[in-house]
Amino acid sequence: MSAARIGVVDTMFSRADMGSLCVKTLKEYAPKPVEVLRRTVPGVKDLPVAAKKLLEEEKCEIVLALGMPGKEEIDKICAHEASQGIIHVQLLTNRHIIEVFVHEDEAKDGNDLAQLMKNRAEKHALNALDLLFNPASLIQRAGTGQRQGRENAVSLQLI
């Protein structure tokens, strides 16, 4: 049986190496053999084409796209455009791309930002493994207020 191929694409603009953390998490927790292919691009708007190339040319089954938009309004616009491109690539390829963005203004300070980046990268890497190898586990967590990066929200019971 050949190893599942998982793509990881990150950016140079990010203030920490979330890509290496994703690769480490994927290899450590994969329930079956995986081959992780990593690419790095300059910024978030370069992520969609890199993810598409990993899916189509490198035959990855799923991709994690990691980026860190800055705190200025133009950065938020660029992040939105990148998100739209990532969604478009998912629809074109019929494959999941897990967008792992950490906005610079989500944190109080550098330590909080580093912890947020670590948590989000690790949790989304685990989500990618579940999507690929154990999608039923996601159904079990539906509506439970799961958060990637911060504490989980309180789950509400529907009447």
CB 129 within 8 A of CB 28: no
Q: Are 116 and 149 in contact (CB under 8 A)?
A: yes
Residues 67-105: tens digit of each pLDDT: 999 999 999 999 999 999 999 999 999 999 999 999 999
SS3 readout for 20-63: HHHHHHHHHHCCCCEEEEEEEECCHHHHHHHHHHHHHCCCCCEE
The residue-averaged pLDDT of 116-132 equals 97
Range 81-88 contact pairs with CB under 8 angstroms and sequence separation of 24 or more: 81/45, 82/44, 82/45, 82/47, 82/48, 85/45, 85/47, 85/48, 85/49, 86/47, 86/48, 86/51, 88/48
**Do 129 and 29 touch, CB atoms closer than 8 A?**
yes
Confidence check: pLDDT of 19 > 70: yes
Residue 25 pLDDT grade (very low, low, confident, very high; cuts 50, 70, 90): very high
Q: Which sequence spans correspond to the domains of the chain? A: 4-140
Identity of the residue numbered 109 = D
pLDDT over threshold 70, residue 1: no
Query: If you average pLDDT over every residue of the chain, what do you get?
Result: 95
Of the listed ranges 39-43, 98-102, 153-157, the least confidently predicted one is: 153-157
pTM of model > 0.85: yes
The confidence band for 41, taking pLDDT boundaries of 50, 70 and 90, is very high
Q: Where are the alpha helices (DSSP H) in the chain?
A: 18-29, 47-56, 73-93, 110-133, 136-140
What torsion do the CA atoms of 14, 125, 23, 32 make, to the nearest 10 degrees? -170
Q: How far apart are CA 153 and CA 26, in angstroms?
A: 25
CATH number of 4-140: 3.40.50.960
Percent of the chain past pLDDT 70, that is, above it, reads: 99
